[in-house]
Amino acid sequence: MLPFARINRNIRSLKRYRQILGTLIKYGFGHIIEQLNIDYYLELGKRIVSLGTASRDLERLSQAERLRLALEELGPTFIKLGQLLSTRPDIVPPEYITELKKLQDRVPAVATEQIKAQLHRELGYPAEELFQAFNPVPLATASIAQVHRGVLKTGEEVVFKIRRPEIERIIETDIDILIGLAYLVEKHLPGGDMYDPIGLVKEFRRTINRELDFAREGRTIERFANNFAQDDLVRIPKVYWEHSGHSVLTLEYVSGIKISHFDELENAGYDLKQIARNGAETFLQQVFEHGLFHADPHPGNIYVLPGNVICMFDFGMVGRLDDELKLQLTELLLSVFNRDVNHIISQLLYSGELHDESNLAGLKRDLSEFIDDYYELLLQDLQVGKLLFDFVEILTEYRIKFPSNLMLLSRALIAMEGIGRQLDPEFNMIEQIKPFAEKIVKDRYSPANLSKEMTRTLQSYHSLGKSLPKDIKEFINRVNRNKFKIDLEHRGFERLITDLDKSTNRISFSLVISALIIGSSLIMQTDKGPMLFDFPILGLLGYTVAGFLGFGLAIAILRSGRM
């Protein structure tokens, strides 16, 4: 049985299938649903949706706009998926990324009684026994959680981030469906396997499950706090673990001014240029020193405190860079700054992303033009985040994959640069990056680091030398016992069988209709049996049935779009 058919087929799931597919068709994506053979795989014996066309109002919108509207209508899981895809220019065209960035969580607040019930379930006591005060009016609402202010029994002012009831079950059902759809996309859409849709949905499932676990977010916040423990220019809110759990996160309430409220900052006497430098310094420390960075640094998540101190909130989405990825990013940026295309190519070859079928000459030409275009800009006008996005677009054309964490970093860099330039029109991210990048390269080639790498390499070869004789012996034994097998997979073969089945059914149907017409014509010549208007009733009945069957067959062929 196919993985798609193994999904739990209870009434709730089937209703959700109908809703998802119906919404996609409503917004003009029925042709894709038809290509996926949904009905065949669900084995329901009838269509679960009726294919139609988008309304005239929707037809005026671009396909990217219609996709955004469809995802917003489908709810939290699909909104989060769209937001993830907006960070993947390696698989999503630029016009779609522009639209997906506009996705908003437009959801009404959950009733106070339900929120207090959620607190009771998670913490084990009624809210009244845990807190002096609990503000029923939320500070913010989103598809996964909403935030309330309150006061603990000990007098500390706090904020509660509380997961919406039942959201976990909703997301679980949707992801099951997305896994099935991804399987069909990979199997039936031309070029679908190139983007690894199943892997993408699994990555999304891992990301959103981490976001649903507020205890994990609390531990992440403490990691950030430890990383900046000695830095007086950064403030990370305290986690109150005795009032937190997997669905509730209680944090210290920090009063400040949003970094995007420029007039308010100026009126309060803050130095906007210094804030821009402090914000960039804080973010680049996360990237190049800690390898753990805030992946959603929009203005609503950054406050400014007295002394130009930066305070960050909402650590549900973070990115990670290991030492190898940090070096790869650093050498890429330095190569672009130094106009060294050959070094970029060698980095891609080293990382294993380039293969024998890659058009190296074309890639080298496009990278040279890309660098020349950026060198025509003044240094202060160059945007590092946009540079990374444009670089990824070139790699995508040559089917070269880029690590997803670097996609998150590109998006975060664009946000931080935008804030920095609004605070200070002369802000230059490159000047901020260069010291970090040069330090990483210097440390990479230090004697101590080279010695560690040499030791790791020797250990790897030692392990390989120990296991190689055993592996060779096992291989020879399998060959001698006729146990050596090679599995071949016929990709797309099921689609061919399905199409042949449809074609055979139509031919059979046509033969039945032809037989009815011929038989009825013969009866009409006999002048025997019951008569109606001087014609044999059996002959008229045969013509009528043939007409209905023929009309139905014609409609089915026209709706399939394959004449």
CB-based contacts of 265, cutoff 8 Å, min separation 6: 257, 259, 272, 275, 304
**Active-site residue, 196 included:** no
Paired tokens of 298:
């929009």
Closest CA to 71 of 100, 41, 113: 100
List of long-range contacts for 206-209, beta carbons under 8 Å, 24+ apart: 207/84, 207/317, 208/77, 208/80, 208/171, 208/175
CA distances from 283 to 14, 84, 286, 297, 367 (A): 45, 20, 5, 9, 28
* Cα distance between residue 76 and residue 142, in whole Å: 9
One DSSP character per residue, 441-469 reads HHHHTSHHHHHHHHHHHHHHHHHHHHHHH
Backbone φ, ψ for residue 112 (5° rounding): -60, -35
Cβ atoms within 10 Å of 491's Cβ, excluding its own: 9
CB-based contacts of 299, cutoff 8 Å, min separation 6: 258, 259, 260, 419
* Cα distance between residue 105 and residue 113, in whole Å: 22
Cβ proximity of 153 and 141 under 8 Å:
no
Query: Of 271, 296, 487, 501, which is the active-site residue?
Result: 296
CB-based contacts of 60, cutoff 8 Å, min separation 6: none
CA distances from 492 to 181, 185, 187, 501 (A): 15, 11, 6, 15
Cβ atoms within 10 Å of 553's Cβ, excluding its own: 16
Cβ proximity of 77 and 172 under 8 Å:
no
Burial label for 242, CB within 10 Å (0-12, 13-18, 19+), is exposed
SS3 labels along 56-99: HHHHCCCHHHHHHHHHHHHCHHHHHHHHHHCCCCCCCCHHHHHH
Instruction: Taking each helix axis as running N to C, give the angle between helix 323-337 and helix 429-444, from 0 to 180 degrees, rounded to the nearest 10.
Output: 120
Q: Which residues are catalytic?
A: 296
